Amino acid sequence: MGGLREAFAVIEGRAAPFYGLTASAAVAVPLLAGALSGHPDQGSMISLGAYVVAFTAPSGPYGARGRSLLVSTLMIAAGGTVGGLLNGHPWLATLIVSCTVAAGAGLPSIGNPIALAVLLTSIRPHTPDALYYGVLELAGGLFFTVLFLAPWPARRLRPLRDALSEAAEAVAGALDAVAQSAAAYSRYVRVDDPVLAEVARPPSWERSYRHALHAVSAARTTFGLYRSGREDEQPTRPERLIDMLAQILAETSALRTLVEAAHQHPPRHGPPTETQIVITALATRVRLLAGAVEAPGQAPLGSTGSAAVNLLTQQTERIHLAALAGDDDLVAAALVAQVRRAVDRIAAAVETAGRIAEGGLRVRFAAPRLPTAPHPGSLWKRLTRAIITRSPEFRRAARVGLAVGTAMTLVTVFGKPHGQWLTITVLFSLRGTYGETRIRIVQRIGGVIVGSVVAAVLLALAPGQVGASLVLFVNALIGFTLRSVNYSYWAVFGTPISMMLLEFSTPSSWTLAGLRVALTIAGGVLAFLAARLLWPAGVAELLPARLDRLLTTHAALVRAATAVVDGASPRLALESIMTAERAIDDVSEIRHRLAHERLPDTDRITALRDAEHAAHRIRGHLAAVSRMSEEELSDPGPVPKILDRVAGYLETAADSVSHPPPVLVADETLDLREELADLDEHLSVLVRCRRSEVESGVGLDEFTPLQRALLHISGIRQALRWLRSDAQELTTSSTAATRWPVQ
């Protein structure tokens, strides 16, 4: 039941009604026109071209979609031409289709659609003009492209607005997670009971921060597609808004560190009670910003003033005066002051982002351009390297090609009618891992059984080619709309589409529907055997290199933060953060694929998950340290030395995981007791000097270098302790993940 629930009940994405309507119209209209004009075969070929192009599911801005669709249309038309040449030559078709499928599995730029075009065209009724197939499929692909891009002028900025709105919502979610920490800080609430903590379920900071970072990065990528080839221009409003959201997220990370540090070291007279209210209000304003971006002119942006901010400022000054008078802890007062300053910076950034949004988002129009084709020499080098190293991509490509070739050979040898369903099932069921293949087989077989029954009933109720065209339109509308929600929906409603396109001139019957189901089940069995018996995925062999990169990029990020603390760099570069994020994603991909193997190594998977979480926390700590160090410091104390020790520790761990067996044992610790003690002593000296400075007559409102240093050291003190702990966790987990034999 768990497997069935995973196959049929998991929601994988959102419905796409506009895409479904466009695809169904592009597929059904040529079919209907062919039926009414007496040319059903030509109409079905045009529909087939539209169907295969629509199957590529382009995404992103309309310019990128246009480029993708144009390339796909040309490639599918070429595939249709090749399929026409192979028509009537089943053994040659078996060889060519198998090679094309293998190339599509290894090169995402080719993919399955071109292999599907070659396969479906090669089994059509024979015609003396092979180019005829390609021309008709080209016409169908262009027809879908025109329909799909028709709203371009009116909806050109919709993908960008959606990306910016999602980024703002994600940043607001990160602020909500910090607000929960601030609530516990302000009210001295700590949930120690694990049962109560499970029921409370406060927002996870790590999850919220990762989601926000990905969303901001996705918005930047989306904008880059709009601005492709125009990098020399001045920053536009969307780019400035993305920069402000990234700044708000960086400030939020620093605020979270400060709130947690203040929670560990609260003032004796009690922390400010308005902290949570202020942070929640900021999150609300960011959400209003998201609404204003998504629906310009229709959503308010909120007021810039806040009574809670004024009250927080008064409470902070009260705590600061008490600390200078000796009635409270000056370090705790400095932490409270840092929290208020971080809140002020976030409020200023939100106000700036609101002004940008009010001015409107405009991007200059640019016609779509074809992407640059890869050099044949680079493709050959990739191919030879994959073969020599027997990479997971090569293993998957060889496995898919061999399985599809076996299916086509069986069909050719036994001469079974409608044998393409055996091949199609193998093509679309065999995935990269055993677990994914098993789920896809269940989805496809279940969907084909239901879809065949539904198609047979509908065609019996509406016989004839015109009725079949209308049935196909309804199925395509539902199938393409729900395809992104769950593949099983596509298997149910998409199966009748390909059935009717291939056999439009053939009357349907219950016997034919049963044959399709039987061939689909046989194809599922063949795909299962291929995933079970042919070459293990080999992804675990990539772990040493991936973990080496994970540790190396985070060591580089620590050194970049050191440069900020030393004053050698103004801020932590976003590219450094995203490089580390991509390294985490690479490890996460390996963990996901290991979890879908037939016998998943749970210990290794747990170690990789722990390493990912530790790496995410490290980035958050470094972002906070860097953000609080951007003001010039005359004496950062032992902070640079601590960061250098952490960077060296991670670099040593990188060497150990990339040269097995690991030389670094799991229980080796990052001993920073001496350095952290020096940091505490340095902070104590700053406290004494600050008291003496005030006693000597320096005004409380005067922001001196000594006060700046006190605020800085008190703010990052706890972050450095967490950094030490998480760096050790990252190293220990990475070492543990490479300790077991590679399977």
Establish how many alpha carbons lie within 13 A of residue 345's alpha carbon, considering only the half-sphere containing its beta carbon: 21
pLDDT of residue 461 exceeding 80: no
pLDDT of residue 62 exceeding 70: no
- Could you read off the pLDDT of 397-444 as tens digits, one per residue? 888 888 888 988 888 888 766 777 788 888 888 887 788 888 888 888
DSSP 638: T
Q: Which of 237-241, 352-356, 535-539 has the lowest mean pLDDT?
A: 535-539
- Is the sign of the CA dihedral 107, 110, 113, 115 positive or negative? negative
Read off the tokens for 588: 């996460």
Instruction: Give pLDDT, residue 731.
Output: 92
Instruction: Give pLDDT, residue 730.
Output: 93
Q: Which of 93-107, 291-305, 686-700 has the lowest mean pLDDT?
A: 291-305
pLDDT of residue 604 exceeding 80: yes
pTM over the 0.85 mark? no
Place of tokens 């560990």: 264
pLDDT of residue 375 exceeding 60: no
Q: Tell me the mean pLDDT in the region 364-369.
A: 54
Residue 680 has a CB neighbour count (10 Å cut-off) of: 13
pLDDT of residue 364 exceeding 70: no
> H or E segment at 444?
helix 434-461
Q: What is d(CA 48, CA 498) in angstroms, rounded to the nearest whole number?
A: 8
Out of 64-78, 97-111, 171-185, 604-618, the most confident range is 604-618
Domains and CATH numbers, the chain: 2-153+392-533 (no CATH), 158-191+202-358 (1.20.58), 539-737 (1.20.58.220)
pLDDT of residue 549 exceeding 70: yes
Q: What amino acid is encoded at 432 in this protein?
A: G
364 phi, psi to nearest 5 deg:
-60, 140
Q: Which of 139-143, 268-272, 366-370, 546-550 has the lowest mean pLDDT?
A: 366-370
To 10 degrees, what angle do helices 434-461 and 487-502 make?
A: 50
User: Which ranges of 61-157 would DSSP assign to H, the alpha helix?
Assistant: 62-86, 90-106, 111-122, 130-149, 152-155
pLDDT of residue 107 exceeding 80: no
pLDDT of residue 666 exceeding 50: no
Instruction: Give pLDDT, residue 294.
Output: 77
Give, in order, the Cα–Cα distances in Å from 453 to each of 419, 448, 457: 19, 8, 6
DSSP 539: G
pLDDT of residue 233 exceeding 80: no
Computed over every residue of the chain, the mean pLDDT equals: 78
Instruction: Give pLDDT, residue 442.
Output: 84
Out of 75-84, 129-138, 304-313, the most confident range is 75-84
- Higher pLDDT: 646 or 310? It is 646
pLDDT of residue 734 exceeding 60: yes
Q: What is d(CA 675, CA 681) in angstroms, rounded to the nearest whole number?
A: 10
Instruction: Give pLDDT, residue 196.
Output: 43
CB 352 within 8 A of CB 729: no
Q: Which of 178-192, 450-464, 670-684, 693-707 has the lowest mean pLDDT?
A: 178-192
9 phi, psi to nearest 5 deg:
-105, -10
- Closest alpha carbon to 391 in 534, 538, 540, 594: 538
- Could you read off the pLDDT of 467-508 as tens digits, one per residue? 778 888 888 898 888 888 887 788 788 777 776 776 665 555
CB 553 within 8 A of CB 579: yes
Instruction: Give pLDDT, residue 200.
Output: 43
- Could you read off the pLDDT of 186-226 as tens digits, one per residue? 544 444 555 444 444 456 788 888 889 889 888 888 887 77
Angle among Cα 603, 609, 611 to the nearest 5 degrees reads: 105
Q: Calculate the dihedral angle through the C-alpha atoms of 386, 392, 395, 401, rounding to the nearest 10 degrees.
A: -90
Q: Tell me the mean pLDDT in the region 70-87.
A: 81
- Closest alpha carbon to 108 in 138, 83, 72, 78: 72
Instruction: Give pLDDT, residue 548.
Output: 92
Q: Tell me the mean pLDDT in the region 84-106.
A: 80
Q: Tell me the mean pLDDT in the region 376-391.
A: 63
Establish how many alpha carbons lie within 13 A of residue 71's alpha carbon, considering only the half-sphere containing its beta carbon: 19
Q: Predicted confidence band at 227 (pLDDT cuts at 50, 70, 90)? A: low
Q: Tell me the mean pLDDT in the region 130-147.
A: 83
pLDDT of residue 344 exceeding 80: yes
- Closest alpha carbon to 503 in 516, 514, 491, 493: 516
Q: What is d(CA 346, CA 511) in angstroms, rounded to the nearest whole number?
A: 68
Q: Predicted confidence band at 555 (pLDDT cuts at 50, 70, 90)? A: very high
